[in-house]
């Protein structure tokens, strides 16, 4: 009887282990996604270092081969250390250039402004024009306007006038000068009042007139 009890206790300790081992079967549970992925499905990229060069589009070039990588228009040579590209000193674009082309290694000006702009107006190359009566201008090939301003002589009168479309002032009534506040013509003596006779300086029209006093008519009347 003691033996049977002992055997029963042994069975109670052994059975749970057997049941647990039998119940846990890997076929009854779905495998993890990582375990399901086969190693053959992994993407493997080739390493071209020391073997070639790859441009932005993924195209492979051999060592020593020339190519144009990415957005660069300058050629490169594929070396073991990677692309070695030309870095030329490109000429400066003309400031008057209106159309620049970037198809080559250096930008190239295809169209230069062929006119001059002056005070809001456009003029053709070598065109001559007068923006004002006293200015003479020309549109130079450099797209710059060069002007010459007339140098007017000193007028021979104290009351010059400006005529339309005429640069320098003119003396419409001839040379004259001031005798006090009175304008008198040059070349003759003028009696400006009862006691004074005046005349203009020869050639110095801007100077006051020379006057001399004579016997006043008022005193003779007395």
List the chain domain ranges. 52-110, 115-149, 157-214
Q: What average pLDDT does the chain have?
A: 76
Task: Give 72 or 184, the one with higher predicted confidence.
Answer: 184
Q: How far apart are CA 170 and CA 133, in angstroms?
A: 14
Which pLDDT score is estimated for 154? 85
In the chain, the percentage of residues whose pLDDT exceeds 90 is: 20
Q: Could you tell me if 16 and 24 are in contact, meaning their C-beta atoms sit under 8 angstroms apart?
A: no
Mean pLDDT of 147-170: 89
Indicate the helix (H) or strand (E) that contains 176.
strand 176-179
Which pLDDT score is estimated for 7? 47
Reply yes or no on whether the pLDDT at 139 is more than 90: yes
**CATH number of the domain at 115-149, please?**
2.10.70
Indicate the helix (H) or strand (E) that contains 206.
none
Mean pLDDT of 199-221: 76
- pLDDT band at residue 201 using 50, 70 and 90 as cut-offs: confident
Which pLDDT score is estimated for 148? 93
Which pLDDT score is estimated for 123? 94
Nearest to 195 by CA among 176, 216, 177, 219: 216
Per-residue model confidence as pLDDT tens digits over 7-66:
444 444 444 444 444 444 444 444 444 444 444 444 444 555 667 888 877 888 888 888
Three-state DSSP class for residue 69: coil
Task: Give 114 or 70, the one with higher predicted confidence.
Answer: 114
């Amino acid at each position: 009887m003691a033996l049977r009890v002992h055997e029963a206790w042994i069975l109670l300790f052994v059975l749970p282990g057997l049941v647990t081992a039998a119940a846990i079967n890997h076929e009854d549970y779905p495998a993890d996604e990582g375990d399901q992925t086969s190693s053959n499905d992994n993407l493997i990229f080739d390493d071209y270092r020391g073997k070639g060069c790859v441009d932005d589009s993924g195209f492979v070039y051999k060592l020593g081969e020339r190519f144009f990588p990415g957005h660069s228009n300058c050629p490169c040579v594929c070396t073991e250390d990677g692309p070695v590209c030309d870095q030329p000193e490109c000429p400066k674009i003309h400031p008057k250039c209106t159309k620049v082309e970037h198809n080559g290694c250096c930008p190239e000006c295809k169209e230069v402004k062929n006119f001059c702009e002056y005070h809001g107006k456009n003029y053709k190359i070598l065109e001559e024009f007068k923006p004002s009566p006293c200015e003479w201008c020309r549109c130079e090939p450099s797209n710059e306007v060069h002007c010459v301003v007339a140098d007017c002589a000193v007028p021979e009168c104290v009351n010059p006038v400006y005529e339309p479309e005429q640069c320098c002032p003119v003396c419409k009534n001839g040379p004259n000068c001031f005798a006090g506040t009175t304008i008198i013509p040059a070349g003759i003596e003028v009696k400006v009042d009862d006691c004074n006779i005046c005349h203009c300086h020869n050639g110095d029209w801007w100077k006051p007139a020379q006057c001399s006093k004579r016997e006043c008519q008022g005193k003779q009347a007395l």
